[in-house]
Amino acid sequence: MSAQNTTNSVDSELLLATCKATAESLRLDILRVLSVESFGVMELCHIFNTAQPGMSHHLKILSSSGLLQTRREGNSIFYRRAAVSSENPINGFISSLFQSIDRVVLSPEIRKRCQQIHRERAQNSKAFFKKKAAKLKQNQNLIAQFSHYESCITDLLSKTSPLNLNRVIEVGPGESDLIGFLSGRFDSLLAVDNSDEMLNRTRDKVRLLNLRNVEFFSGELSDLEASHRADLVVLNMVLHHLPAPGGVFKSAHQILEPGGQLLIVDLCSHNQDWARDTCGDLWLGFDPNDLDQWAKDANLEKGQGAYLGLRNGFQVQIRLYQQKSN
């Protein structure tokens, strides 16, 4: 058999496997839900009102065909839609398939159950911060002290952001010293947090530093109205606390000025499950490719970045993404 025929045969097999895997309405809905989300098996069972054995069967078929990827978070396994590899012989077909799936309108019931899981995750996070607010900074310092990566952030922003920009929004600033640097570089700063306890600690920090240009907003980044435009949105060690981390990229896209930037500082993927109980982490860091994909889905362009390894084994990623200029 010629090399050309062999290649065509392999392509045909891949194409057939992909078509078979998606020839079921539930599996199409699963791929739609997992386009920018990551859910565990039992969460997906709840979303689709399906028993666990049946859901596991569908997930196995989608995973075997390369349409889903798994990620271990401590003792839990989460599913997400696989990125389309440029080396996949049928990558064009899969990309077109995903684009078509993304135009599928999910039923109100499915959307409602997805939102319910987001609320449960958010409530668990808020409950943790309410209970552990007093010790949170001490606990987080066990993973990464701000002083360890402060110079990387300030150097990156100093080189990429002009002075005297109008407004910066920091999501979940807590008691971090970053707020002092941002306050001095921007005309105004809006501190956003869905935890009143943590927002009060930010107020205390602002008073301690005698900052005069800081305002406060209790809620989510997505709750901000269109009038709250920003030149920079910052999440410093916050993304791993969010119930739907991919959504923050789209929220940032909605409020960033043309040419504005999104700064994400977070951990790379790790397997230190104790961070859940000690620091309230919902996610054990992130693969840099995940951040890039979420940014791409939100129509943000990848900018500069830096990676910093810590002595305790954790690795910090400092990433900039940019709103396209008009």
State how far the Cα of 91 lies from the Cα of 133, in Å rounded to an integer: 47
DSSP 144: -
214-218 vs 186-193, strand pairing mode = parallel
State the residue range of the domain holding 16: 3-106
Q: How many structural domains are present in the chain?
A: 2
Residue 84 covered by a domain: yes
State how far the Cα of 69 lies from the Cα of 83, in Å rounded to an integer: 8
Please give the structure tokens belonging to residue 203.
Answer: 């107020």
Whether residues 191 and 254 fall in one domain? yes
- CATH code of the domain in which 248 resides: 3.40.50.150
Residue 100 covered by a domain: yes
Q: Would you give per-residue pLDDT tens digits along the chain (326 residues)?
A: 444 444 455 578 888 889 999 999 999 999 999 987 888 999 999 999 999 999 999 999 999 999 998 877 667 788 988 878 777 888 888 889 998 998 888 999 999 999 898 888 777 766 665 665 555 565 565 667 788 888 888 888 877 766 556 899 999 998 888 999 899 888 999 999 988 888 999 999 999 999 999 999 999 999 997 778 999 999 999 999 888 899 999 999 999 999 999 999 998 888 777 677 777 778 888 989 889 999 999 999 999 888 887 766 678 899 999 998 86
State how far the Cα of 80 lies from the Cα of 59, in Å rounded to an integer: 10
Sequence length of the chain is: 326
Dihedral Cα 44, 50, 53, 54, nearest 10 deg:
-100
- Which residue, of 89, 106, 123, is where some domain finishes? 106
- 261: Cβ–Cβ under 8 A, 6 or more apart, which residues? 160, 161, 231, 232, 233, 303, 320, 321, 322, 323
Nearest-10 crossing angle of helices 91-101, 25-33: 90
